[in-house]
């Protein structure tokens, strides 16, 4: 598989986290290049689309988080071989990406606009998306999003639910997932208890 380097910000969440987790769970060795925000200005132009995450393999780069998740998911044994199950796995990852992009787009807004937009997202599209994701989980048996087993889709949804419940997003109620999609919270709690997930965060001194 060559020498892998995942380049992402020095945070234990967001768009780079599912790939880190997948490689940790699958025992895929990689260089975890954590970019400090202060250094981003000097590194941005060198990335394919001026954004992170980027995965490098033997010095060549590929961008776009869900494509990276698919690639490392295959290496880690956490991406379905079956084409239909793979489409279900992609569906959940793209659904998270779609709504997370809307929520994160509010970050640079001035305070009053940020508050208004986040409250409106929480009451509308974000609640809708959580409800629909929960329905998709239940439609596939309630435990996993695809293939009847842990895949990168479960990791991406886990990271998203953890973020929503973390209190890091002002004006998005921390109990929104618990109220709107309790089965996604139960799913989050199951993924959290996966021995390799627990070991990964224990190794990073991150409380779950
Ligand atoms: N579609 C891209 C979006 C990447 C993206 O916007 N990444 C953010 C961090 S999560 C970023 O690099 N922001 C810094 C910037 O745009 O300068 C993906 O899924 O990887």
Q: 48: Cβ below 6 Å to ligand 1?
A: no
CA distance 105 to 203: 31
**Ligand 1, from 51, 71, 102: best to mutate by most atoms within 8 Å of Cβ?**
51
- The tens digit of pLDDT for each residue in 93-137 reads 999 999 999 999 999 999 999 999 999 999 999 999 999 999 999
138 CA to centre of ligand 1 in angstroms: 30
Cross-strand partners of 33: 7
C-beta 169 within 6 A of ligand 1: no
* pLDDT at residue 20, as a whole number: 98
Strand blocks (E) in the chain: 4-9, 31-35, 54-57, 60-63
Rounded Cα distance, 9 and 40, in Å:
8
Tell me the C-alpha distance between 43 and 14, whole Å: 19
Q: Is 127 in the pocket of ligand 1 (CB under 6 A)?
A: no
pLDDT in tens, 16-45: 999 999 999 999 999 999 999 999 999 999
Atom of ligand 1 nearest to the CA of 68: 20
């Amino acid at each position: 598989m060559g020498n892998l380097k995942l380049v992402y910000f020095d945070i234990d969440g967001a768009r780079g986290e599912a790939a880190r987790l997948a490689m940790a769970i699958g025992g895929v060795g990689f260089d975890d290049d954590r970019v400090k925000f202060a250094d981003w200005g000097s590194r941005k132009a060198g990335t394919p689309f001026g954004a992170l995450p980027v995965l490098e393999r033997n010095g060549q780069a590929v961008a776009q988080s869900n494509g990276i998740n698919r690639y490392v998911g295959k290496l880690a044994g956490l991406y379905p071989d079956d084409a239909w199950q793979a489409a279900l796995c992609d569906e959940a990852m793209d659904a998270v990406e779609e709504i997370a992009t809307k929520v994160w787009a509010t970050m640079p807004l001035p305070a009053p606009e940020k508050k208004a937009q986040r409250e409106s997202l929480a009451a509308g599209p974000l609640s809708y998306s959580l409800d629909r994701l929960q329905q998709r989980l239940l439609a596939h048996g309630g435990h996993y999003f695809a293939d009847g087993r842990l895949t990168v889709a479960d990791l991406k949804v886990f990271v998203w639910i953890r973020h929503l419940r973390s209190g890091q997003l002002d004006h998005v109620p921390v109990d929104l997932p618990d109220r709107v999609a309790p089965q996604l919270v139960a799913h989050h709690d199951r993924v959290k208890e996966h021995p390799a997930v627990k070991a990964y965060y224990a190794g990073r001194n991150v409380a779950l």
